[in-house]
Chain A
């Protein structure tokens, strides 16, 4: 990744909330809205994991609702990790997670959001490739954790564009450490009453 990318990520991670968080959150009634976001990610760093695999571009779908404090999230992130060596198989990773975030309006149409995620990192190995020969388990799961810093800009009443930096840690014996940069688009909806009653 270029130094420009790293600088952009560092900038996103370094943004500190300068406004009153509680005031920002007090405007949001729990489960009143649903925000659906689509994000494209790419890795910035090069860790031991990247010696063996190239994650390429990944995609994420996220649903966020205002919670009793901050916001609650559920999301799914997917990467197709291409083998860099002939001795390891390609594999698809899916990160199913729940998260929590808090946001601060920075003035005008911009807001900063910080969040944490925890979930299951599911790996499905390509069983048709030679490195898989002799193995019986094509998939494995492990706990994954994440921390996100995001800058959003409002477009109209309900649309947002975002720049996102995320640090992701998968707690395999040899940890998978990834610093990712992403760009996303989201839209806010009013939660249907039946769904709001279910969630509350």
Chain B
């Protein structure tokens, strides 16, 4: 039975791998960072979005530790991020006004087997990623009945303890919360079924945010998340099919940027997806994909002078042919948005055709050219990437990627783009917004070059550099003032729809296996805005220029892991908060200080790897760790985690 199911799973994997030789090359190229499921277990993660903290060349910002903004290397700052999220090859439309919060994903952390992270332009599973991509792969079920569960409890240090009853009392600290998930699966020779559910809550009680969040929620500020996922897969004839239904619900506190309002929201997401692959001949297959998702948010309390609500229904259909050297496909995507402000839903429809040709290695290297054309509302968008790889020696190679992209208006999911399409919330609220230039069609030209060498068993080094020209970015500039009563902010907003400039940066990674059980990895990246208008420079100043990770994993025996990571995040400057800094007497400084953070974890497997116990410490040095000028400061935190896997 196990062998037969393994055969089915292997067939799924082979079909996916056969999509093109270029796809294989990308998987092994230096431009894709891969996080394994083992690493996600070892590295002190509590929720899915925590994986962003492990990325070599992405940076993150958060106010409350639940909703994270991410900025891939030099492609977009936190504002207007357009990076894509895929789970098992299906695009997940979690984006709410330009923010994709991984913690809204219904997929539990325990289900993840691998994560691919792309920072350069490339065609990936039929999606042309011009601004970064994260692809989460979930674990295939084992043969027969299997089940799993995962519980995480975390707490920051610094509670008042018994001193709460004395004159030495300080506010209570409950900033981390609990998370749990369960899954059950059944695998047979020709089919499998699995179901999972996750739940979690986080307490937004940091002194920097608690007043705003408590005012917004009208109660103890707790963020709650629930998620469920069902997946069925099977073989019919020579074809493999998978159907996935997933949904999540979050009681969140949503920051409506244009008016700096914290809104208590109920955010719901659900998606039904059907994918399948027909094996036409050895090395040739046809893949289809149908998805429908509903991404909605609504206010839990009426705090605004206008109704706040948003429901985006996205339907996608795609067809792709793939052989060893050629990929070609087409996709149509329809987004329908309903809001209290509009009697009739707004519609956006885009059609795309794409392809990729890979050439076998010659004296000129091994090039692969990918391109996509997108049509919407009479506009044509273009994206192209030329990848080249030269083998310099037996253990060294040079790789380059040249990219160009010009988007269509329909790709823009910012609130400004929807305002242009008729979403009148901001007008109804009388928001003090000056739109200098309406959102335009962004353009980018990118060049990436990397050289890598394998120095010996387990040892490698890689150096990379990039240049980008970005144009047509929509960025916001707030002249914020401090509202002392609620420790909140307000002020007029200026929107620039055609910000642009040049970015440069570099990256150095080195890995070594000193002894069989001891592995080390160093990754340093830097990003600089070297030219551009003021709004462009201000937007990029919010992203730290320097990011360094140094991780050491020590596995003296098979069932014991010791892991540590030293992280340095450079300072960042948020000019929106320049006046707030003085008005709040420095409590909300415009410059988020750099931080050196040390994390530690110890993990032991029991009962033939059926049970796992994990104890971890974050920021054990007690550095002033903050990710946003208006956000929480993360004190040393202890995490305890238990996982059971019964297969």
What residues of chain A have their CB less than 8 Å away from a CB belonging to chain B? 48-49, 52-53, 68-69, 81, 87-89, 91, 98, 118, 120-121, 123, 125, 131-132, 140-143, 170-174, 176, 197-200
Chain A residues closer than 8 Å to B168, beta-carbon distance? 48, 174
Q: Kindly list chain A residues whose C-beta atoms are within 8 Å of the C-beta of B165.
A: 52, 87-89, 125, 131-132
Structural contact, A173 and B166, CB atoms closer than 8 A:
no
- A52-B165, A89-B165 given; 6 more Cβ-contact pairs under 8 Å: A68-B557, A88-B165, A121-B161, A171-B157, A173-B161, A174-B160
Considering the chains assembled together, what is the distance between the CA atoms of A39 and B164 in angstroms? 30
Interface centre among B159, B170, B640 (most CB of A within 10 A): B159
Count the B residues whose beta carbon is within 8 Å of the partner chain — how many?
26
B173 closest partner in A (C-beta): A173
Indicate if the CB atoms of B163 and A173 lie closer than 8 Å.
Answer: yes
Q: Are B161 and A142 in contact (CB under 8 A)?
A: yes
Bound together, the chains give a CA A141 to CA B168 distance in angstroms of 18
In the assembled complex, the CB of A175 is this many whole angstroms from the nearest CB of chain B, namely 9
- CB contacts (< 8 Å) of B557 on chain A: these are 68
Instruction: Give the chain B neighbours of A118 by CB distance below 8 A.
Output: 615, 638
Asked whether B607 is an interface residue with its Cβ less than 8 Å from the other chain, the reply is yes
* B residues less than 8 Å from A52 (CB atoms): 162-163, 165-166
Q: Kindly state the separation between the CA atoms of A171 and B617 in the bound complex, as whole angstroms.
A: 13
Closest A residue to B157 using CB positions: A171
Q: Which residues of chain B are within 8 angstroms of A171 by Cβ–Cβ distance?
A: 157-158, 636
Report whether A98 and B161 are in contact in the complex, using a CB–CB cutoff of 8 Å.
no
| Residue of B157, B559, B608 ringed by the most chain A CB atoms within 10 A | B157
User: A87-B166, A171-B157, A174-B170 are known contacts. Are A69 and B556 too (CB-CB below 8 A)?
Assistant: yes
Assess the A123–B161 pair: CB atoms within 8 A: yes
Pick the contact of A143: B157, B559, B607 (CB < 8 A): B157
**What are some 18 contacts across the A-B interface (CB < 8 A)?**
A48-B168, A52-B166, A69-B556, A88-B166, A89-B165, A118-B615, A123-B162, A140-B164, A141-B159, A142-B159, A142-B161, A143-B638, A171-B158, A172-B157, A172-B162, A173-B158, A174-B168, A197-B607
User: Whole-angstrom distance from the CB of B438 to the nearest CB of chain A?
Assistant: 50
When each residue 414-430 of chain B gets 1 if its CB lies under 8 Å from chain A and 0 otherwise, what string results? 00000000000000000
Complex Cα–Cα for A132 and B164 (A): 10
- Given A171-B157, A171-B636, A198-B606: A53 and B559 within 8 A (CB)? no
Chain B residues engaging chain A, CB cutoff 8 angstroms: 155, 157-166, 168, 170, 172-173, 556-557, 559-560, 606-608, 615, 636, 638, 640
> Across the interface, which residues of B come within 8 angstroms of A199, CB to CB?
606
B606: chain A residues at CB < 8 Å are: 198-199
Give complex CA distance A198, B559 in Å.
Answer: 11
B161, A172: Cβ atoms under 8 Å? yes
A89–B157 Cα distance when bound, in Å, is: 22
Partner of B161, one of A69, A174, A198, A200: A174
Contacts of B608 in A (CB 8 A): 197
Most B-side CB within 10 Å, residue of A53, A121, A140 = A140
Contacts of B556 in A (CB 8 A): 68-69
Interface majority SS on A: helix, strand, loop or mixed?
A: mixed
Contact between B161 and A170, CB atoms less than 8 A apart:
yes
A174–B159 touching, CB < 8 Å: no
Q: Which of B160, B163, B557, B606 has the most CB of A within 10 A?
A: B163
Of B155, B163, B560, B638, which one neighbours A174 at CB under 8 angstroms? B163
Question: Which residues of chain B are within 8 angstroms of A176 by Cβ–Cβ distance?
Answer: 161-162
Which residues does chain B contribute within 8 Å of A88, judged by CB atoms?
Answer: 162, 165-166
Given A143-B638, A200-B559; A173-B159 close (CB under 8 Å): yes
A197 to B172, CA, bound (A): 42
B119: shortest Cβ distance to chain A, in Å? 36
Name the one of B159, B170, B559, B615 contacting A140, with C-beta atoms under 8 angstroms.
B159
Q: Is the pair B161, A140 in contact by a Cβ cutoff of 8 Å?
A: yes
Residue of B nearest to A132 (CB): B165
Which residues of the other chain, A, contact B160 by a CB distance below 8 angstroms?
A: 140, 172-174
Shortest beta-carbon contacts, A-B, top 10:
A172-B161, A171-B157, A173-B170, A88-B165, A174-B163, A143-B638, A173-B158, A174-B168, A198-B607, A142-B159
Chain B residue numbers with a CB within 8 Å of A68 are 556-557, 560
Question: Which residues from chain B contact A143 at a C-beta distance below 8 Å?
Answer: 155, 157, 636, 638
Choose from B163, B607, B636 the contact partner of A172 (Cβ within 8 Å): B163
A140 neighbours in B (Cβ, 8 Å): 159-161, 164, 172
CB-based nearest B residue for A87: B165
- Min CB–CB distance A176 → chain B (angstroms): 7
| Min CB gap A116→B, angstroms | 12
Asked if B559 and A172 make an inter-chain contact with CB atoms under 8 angstroms apart, the answer reads no
Which residues does chain A contribute within 8 Å of B158, judged by CB atoms? Answer: 171-173
Q: With a CB–CB cut-off of 8 A, which chain B residues contact A89?
A: 165
Which residues of chain A have C-beta atoms less than 8 A from B155's C-beta?
Answer: 141-143
- Nearest chain A CB to B173's CB is how many angstroms away? 8
User: Considering residues A88, A91, A142, which has the most beta carbons from chain B within 10 angstroms of its beta carbon?
Assistant: A142
Question: With A and B bound together, what is the CA distance between A199 and B608 in angstroms?
Answer: 9
A118 vs B601: C-alpha distance when bound (angstroms): 12
Q: What chain B residues lie within 8 Å of A198 (beta carbons)?
A: 606-607
List the A side residues contacting B157 at CB < 8 Å.
142-143, 171-172
Name the distance in Å between B554's Cβ and chain A's nearest Cβ. 11
Query: Shortest distance in angstroms between A71's beta carbon and chain B's nearest beta carbon?
Result: 14
Residues of B within 8 A of A69 (CB): 556
Distance in Å from the Cβ of A45 to the closest Cβ of chain B? 17
Contact residues in A for B172 (Cβ distance below 8 Å)? 140
By a CB distance below 8 angstroms, the chain A residues around B166 are 52, 87-88
Please measure, in the bound complex, the distance between the C-alpha atom of A98 and the C-alpha atom of B557, giving whole angstroms. 19
Q: A125 to chain B: which residues have CB within 8 Å?
A: 162, 165
B170 nearest in chain A by CB position: A173
**Once the chains are docked, how many angstroms separate the CA of A196 from the CA of B636?**
34
